Structure formats: C-alpha cells, structure tokens
Structure 1
Amino acid sequence: MSPSPPTIKDTSLTLSAPPTSQYSTSTPAPSPSLTTNSYSSPPPPPSAAPPPSRNITFRNLRSVDPQHLSDLLSSTLPLDSNLSSPDDQLNHLNSTLLASLNSLAPLKRKNVTFKTSSPWFTPALRKLKQTGRQLERLTMKSSLTVHHDSYKLHLTTYRDALNAAKCAYLSTIFIDPSRNPRTLFSTVNKLLKPHADTLSSSTSTCSSFLQFFSDKITAMNLSLSAACDTQTSPPTSTATLPPSISLDLPSPPPHGILSQFTLVTPPEILQLISSSKPTTCSLDPLPTPLLKSCLPVLCPYIVNLFNSSLSQGTVPSAFKTAAVTPILKKPGLDPSSLSNYRPISNLPFLSKTIECIISKHLHRHLQKMTFLNPFSLDFVLTTAQKRPSSKSSMTSSPLLTPVPSTSSSSLT
C-alpha cells in the first residue's frame, strides 16, 4: 500500500476592505510542510481635494434690452406731486428701478467652482503635469528604483519649465510698453508685498467692524465740536489753548453768505452723468451702465429729486449709507486688531453725483467771493473738476455723518 501524498493547504491572499478604508491581508495558518509569507498591499494614493465651491447670486444683465427697460420705466414712473420729501422720492425711485430690474433679470442662485489657472500655465506645462501624474502612479504601483528615479527627474524638468514660463510671462509685462500701467503696478505689488491675511467673514465680524468704525467717527465729531466750542467760548487762559487754533477769525461779509443752492437743469444732469465713470455700488438698485442707457427717461425724475434736496437743504438718508470694506493699512499688520484696518466706503452712484453738484456750487461761490487762496488755486481747481466715483474714504465725505434732517439752507 503506497503512502498518501502530503496535504497542501490553500495559501491564496484574501483582501478585505473594512470600513476604515485600509486594506488588510489575511492568510490561513501555515502548514508544517509549506512556509508562507505575509504581503500588504500599497496604500491607495491620496485623493485630490475637490475645488472649493460657492453659492452665488447673479443676474443675467446681458439679456436686458435697454429700450425695453426704458419703456417699462416710463410707464411705471409717473411724476407724483404728492412726494415732496427727498427721502420719499428716492425710495419711490429705488423701488421702481429694482422692481423693473427684477422683472427683466431676476436673481438666480448657482453653485459654482472657482478653478482658475495661472496666466503663464501653458498647454505644454499641462501636458508635463499629466505625465508627472502618470509617473507618480507608476512609482507607487511598482516600487521600482528606476521608476522612482524617472519620477524625480521629471519633477526637476517640470519645475524648470514652470519657472521659465513664469519668467517669460512677467518679462512680457515689464518690457511691453503697450501694457496697461495698472496691470504693471498690480503685478509688482503682488511680487513685492506679502499676502495679507484677513479675518474670516461672519456676522459677528461685520458687527464688530461696524461698531468700531461708528465709535471712531463719533470720537472725531466730538473732538471737532470741542474745538469749535473752544473757539467760541471766551478764553480763561491762553496757555491752555492749542497753538494751532486762532481766536481772531474774521466774520464773513453779509453778501458772502451762501443762503441757497442753484437748482440744476436737465442738460446739466445729462452732461454730468454721461461723462462720469460707470462704477456701480452694491446699494444701487440699477447698475450704472443700465442707468446711463435709460438716462433720457430717468433724467426728469433725477432732476426733480436733486432740486428737492437742494431747495430743502437735506440729503436723503439712503445717500448717507455706504457699503464699507475694511482693508489693512499696511501689509504685515496683525489682522486680528481692528485698529489696523481703514474703511473704504462705496457710495451709491446718485449720492456721488449730487455731491459733485454741491462741490461745484461751493467752488463757484468761493471763486466769486474771492475766498480762495491764490497759492492753492490750482489744487482746488483740479479737485473740483474730478468726476464722481463710487469709491471714497469713509471719513472724507460729509454725507456719511448722521445729522438730523432740518429745513435750513445748509445741507445735512
């Protein structure tokens, strides 16, 4: 009787994927007649993080026909004589403009992914990047030295090609004289100035900035009021007065007082708005390019609003509201300290327009009364001829100070 052959157990590897996504191997107990080895599969390559997405709100303004919008506004904007207050007139105008825009270009929401490549990232670099990904996967799969060396050599080649493409792109910006100077200086600032970290946007952060800037403006107004009270009150001791404040101020002549503003005319409004920059504020009910395209229809209502404001000596409350963006005063400052930020206010377009009108009236009156300093006349003329823009410093505009409305001849 022949002896039975030795028994050989199955030594195949069994792969199981537990919930932790880590691959594990299991082998049966080794037989005395066969030696088995444990093998572990290589970890999977880390998956690339998905590009950040954001839910945005937008309007399809290209679908708006200016002629259709003008016809809609002419039928929904009758001149209402019952609205005598500038605030009521402005609220009626803004609500009508917003309703007309919503009917032609309603707000839409969409999840978008912001994935933009650098301007110097050419198709050749994209091909090199794809080749590098292939070599990386091959190296992790085979674990051979020859594949690893090829991958390292390709990384060096790709890095050199990337630097050469970036240098060629920047050299074109610096050398080409036909380039926009704004692009040149923006590129230089990005290269020389470090990236400034900012605070995360949230409701509490916005409330903190609002309270900080409001307290700052209140403190400035109190300091100005204290200086005026020091000038009008009789001095108790000349040593306590600041040296920059003079008490011997000449009183203006009676004929030099500006008692009222001159009302504007439709041609003046047409010329001023047509020559202004089409800057738009987030508080504007209608984008400025559309407003300028419908200007022949809107001009009578804008003239009526401005003349009502100039005759009553008040500015609508909506014109005193600005969208404020805080920016760091200098690169490298602590972004967590609110005192390191300065506010940039974005005013409505019509607010800057009426501010430009008042500035021209004041300059005309000062020039007529010969109150201007001849040594600074060139600077005053240059400043008075500036076109209205929606951006300004928060503390440089008198329209941002919340003063109660009065019926006096001076604007509040």
Structure 2
Amino acid sequence: MVHPKRLMDPEGFLTALGEFPASSAGDPVDALVSLWNGEMTRAIDTITPERPLSSNRAKTAPWFTEELAAMKRKKRELECMWRSEYESDRTRLCSYLRTYTAAIKAARRVYLVANIASAKNNPAALFQVIKGLLTPTTHGGFPDNSASRCEAFAQFLADKVALICSDFDAILTAVSEDVTRAPACPVLMGSFQLVELKDVDKVLGEVRATTCILDPCPSWLMREARGGLAEWVKVMANASLWDGKFPVSLKMAVIKLLLKKASLDPTLFRNFWPISNLPYLGKVLEHVVASQLQGFLVDMIFWIQHSLALGRGMVPRQPWSP
C-alpha cells in the first residue's frame, strides 16, 4: 500500500493538518512527537489515501531490441491463428519460430561481442564481463529476511556495541592520575537557547531530505511545506531543549544491510555494514543541538587562542565562523 506522490500537494497538506493546538504547548516532548506523528498521518491519509502498489513489468534483456519486440508480437498473432487448428497455420508458426529464435541468438551474440570489444583495453572491465557470462547473477543466495534472522543480527550489533564500550572504559581506566590536566575554561554552556521560527525554517531547509519508513510523511513534503510546519517543529524542539531530553520514538532506526564486497559470504553478519536510517524529525532536532554546540566550541577555541597569545605576548586572532 502506497500514497500516490502526485496527489501530495503542500498547500492541501497544510490545510488538512491545521494549526498547532495551543493547548498542547506545555506537554512533554514525547507527547508532542506522538501528536505530531498522529496528525501528520491523518493529513496524509486525507489528501492521498493509500492504494495498492501496481506491480512493475519484468525488466527486458539489454539485447532485446524493438525489432525483436515486433517479431514477438507477430509470433503471438500466429499462435492465435494456429489455435484454429488449421495445418497451414501450424506450418507458418513453426517456420516463424525458427526465424524468431535465430534472431534472438544473433541479437544476443552482437550485444555480447560489442561488450567484450569495448572492454578489451580494460582488464578489470573485461574480467567482469567474462564473469557475468560464466556465473550469471542469481537472487537466491542473499540471506533471508525472516524475523529470527533479524533478531540474530540485532543481537550481533548489540554485542558489538557493548564490546566497543568496554574497550573505551578500559582505555579511560588505564589513564594515569599523574597526567597534567588543562585549566578550566571560563567559557561555559549552562543551557541551550530556545529556537525561533526563523531558526526552524533555516534548519528545515538545510537538513538533507532523506525519508525513513518510520516517518509519517515524506521528508521532501515537509521541506516544501516548512513555512506552515515551523510552529510545530519549534514547539517540539524547544520542549526537547528545555527538558534536556531527546524523544524516545526518534531514537528508533531502520537498519539496512550493505554487503562490504560482492565476493563475501552473505550468511555471515560481520560481512555487512549496518546502515542506520533515522526519522527525519530526529535529524532536525540533532541539527538544532549541533548548531548551538558548534557555536559554543567556536567561543571556547577563541578563548584558548587568546590565552596562548597572551602567554606569548601576541595579539589573539578574532573569532572565526565555521
């Protein structure tokens, strides 16, 4: 089931969504995110109801030309005529089948010869062409997507993260107490600054529009309608900054498996890169926090430069912008 993209109008979407309810302004951030997901889903269902996805036709071979397609249609016509059980029609069909088969073999031969000739000066490309002829790609060797296998892969990732964390703890414990510590920096960050509508509009325009299946609506639609969504995002971002809490539902990620090399065994978990696909709203909140942390680090670096310059009798440089 899919939502037709051609029916997703930003203006109609904002009309179906409506204004942010003022009564929910003081709710916790998790409640606000839940309200956001529910209202966005309702608005999408209003303007573009779900419908079954039409099945795509099988992809034709690269050597299957328009002339072969015309011959195939002619063959179908002769087959229909042969069903009349006339002997002459059967004879014509058998003769045409031999011609059609010969044309297919010739077209395939011409295509493969051209591929080999184009790669004769590139050993790597020539090897790939020959490998494709000797060992055609099959779709049966990829690991299954059963629930038990997904659980096993999730446990493998959890164990890997736990091992990395334990290694970090061991490194920190091994640090000697005699290590000289740097003086405390007077530039402190006591709290985050609440964002305004213009800040939210800027962030929505800068964050890459990558959609996750956990999103209630496509990210490109959010960017197109960001003028009407800025108030919603501002309230959620400020609630997250004020409470010092990141919404639990936005910590969920869809893990996609990427095989490191085509030659590796796809049944072994260690041969995959785990690619995390996060909700778009979570990336927006991360961008808000990162921009403020970056500003704090700029001020801290300027203080360090200033301290070093005074110690050497030099004039410090002015603060720089990233």
Superposition TM-score tier, normalisation by shorter sequence: 0.7 to 0.9
Q: Which amino acid aligns with 2:265?
A: D
- When you count helix as a share of all residues, which structure comes out higher? 2
Q: Which amino acid aligns with 2:43?
A: S
Partner Cα separation in structure 1 for residue 44 and residue 173 of structure 2: 49
| SS of the residue 2:220 aligns to | helix
Match of 1:352 among 283, 308, 311: 283
Contact kept in structure 2, 1:66 and 1:294, CA below 8 Å:
yes
Equivalences for residues 369-408 of structure 1 within 5 A: 369-370=300-301
- Is 1:313 the counterpart of 2:244? The answer is yes
Deviation by residue 1:107-127 (Cα, 9 ceiling, x = unmatched): 333563542224663311323
Contact kept in structure 1, 2:255 and 2:277, CA below 8 Å:
yes
- The match for 1:14 is none
Partner Cα separation in structure 1 for residue 289 and residue 217 of structure 2: 23
- Is 1:127 the counterpart of 2:70? The answer is yes
- Is 1:93 the counterpart of 2:36? The answer is yes
- The match for 1:328 is 259
- The match for 2:309 is none
Deviation by residue 1:153-200 (Cα, 9 ceiling, x = unmatched): 86554334235457879999xxxxxxxxxxxxxx99x96899584202
Summarize the Cα distance change of 1:82–1:155 in structure 2 as closer, same or farther, 3 Å threshold.
Answer: closer
The alignment's TM-score, normalised by the length of structure 2, stands at: 0.72
Partner Cα separation in structure 1 for residue 263 and residue 210 of structure 2: 30
Over the matched positions of the two proteins, sequence identity in percent amounts to 25
| SS of the residue 2:23 aligns to | coil
- 1:82 deviates by 5.9
Deviation by residue 1:22-81 (Cα, 9 ceiling, x = unmatched): xxxxxxxxxxxxxxxxxxxxxxxxxxxxxxxxxxx2112322332222122225x31334
Higher relative contact order (CA 8 A, sep 6+): 2
Contact kept in structure 2, 1:324 and 1:346, CA below 8 Å:
yes
Deviation by residue 1:373-400 (Cα, 9 ceiling, x = unmatched): 99xxxxxxxxx98xxxxxxxxxxxxxxx
The alignment's TM-score, normalised by the length of structure 1, stands at: 0.58
| SS of the residue 2:16 aligns to | helix
- Is 1:270 the counterpart of 2:201? The answer is yes
- 1:314 deviates by 1.5
| SS of the residue 2:256 aligns to | strand
Summarize the Cα distance change of 1:171–1:291 in structure 2 as closer, same or farther, 3 Å threshold.
Answer: farther
Contact kept in structure 1, 2:72 and 2:100, CA below 8 Å:
no
- 1:299 deviates by 0.4
Contact kept in structure 1, 2:237 and 2:285, CA below 8 Å:
yes
Match of 1:300 among 226, 231, 235: 231
Contact kept in structure 1, 2:257 and 2:272, CA below 8 Å:
yes
Contact kept in structure 2, 1:72 and 1:100, CA below 8 Å:
yes
Equivalences for residues 148-159 of structure 1 within 5 A: 155=101, 157-159=103-105
Partner Cα separation in structure 1 for residue 215 and residue 117 of structure 2: 40
- Is 1:281 the counterpart of 2:212? The answer is yes
Match of 2:190 among 259, 262, 280: 259
| SS of the residue 1:80 aligns to | helix
- The match for 1:361 is 292
What are structure 1's unaligned runs of at least 5 residues? 1-56, 173-186, 235-246, 375-383, 386-412
What are structure 2's unaligned runs of at least 5 residues? 119-124, 306-320
- 1:311 deviates by 2.5
- Aligned positions, number: 285
Partner Cα separation in structure 2 for residue 255 and residue 156 of structure 1: 84
- The match for 2:312 is none
- 1:303 deviates by 1.0
